[in-house]
A = this chain, B = another copy of it.
């Protein structure tokens, strides 16, 4: 008689990883970054803290990976490719589509609560702030750079525009309203930002 199959080690790892990601996001949202510890994450996830130290060097590393995983899952659920902006040939429509999806994600409590705790710490902790920008924020912004470059080749954006600055005209207002709660974050609002940015405030 054959022995019972040994549980697949990689699947078991995947389950532990997912439990650790979920625990890290829940904990940072509950108690903030400074009071989040590897021990606390381990206890929440029901694993030993050595399991966490085997895979990650610090709580910052766990959290950054947990956010990357959350972003990928959210994008998959929304039927999006993780790393490309749509290119239907209509720049305004493509930007509005992506910014509406971004608003939906920013307003989703699964994302908002832990992301706000991480962002708050990034403001006063330059090392963590730099990691958040390099690993979570800038890769998102580079998707807009690529889409604006394609638009320049198609003649929809002026050739002398710097795409890395241009994207801030519609991305940064969303970031500020989300970070500082300076106004409502709606689809109508992000549609308006795209129209203003593409056509300008001055009469044509």
Contact = CB atoms under 8 A, between A and B. Distances in A.
A36 to B, nearest CB: 13
A123 B189 CA distance: 21
A79 interface: no
Q: Please classify the interface of chain A as helix (H, G, I), strand (E, B), loop, or mixed, using the class held by over half of its residues.
A: helix
Interface of A: 32, 116-117, 119-124, 126, 129-130, 132-133, 137-138, 141, 148, 155-158, 161-162, 164-166, 168-173, 175-177, 179-183, 189, 192-193, 196-204
Contacts of A126: 181
Nearest to A176: B172
A198 to B, nearest CB: 5
A116 to B, nearest CB: 6
Nearest to A183: B164
Nearest to A165: B192
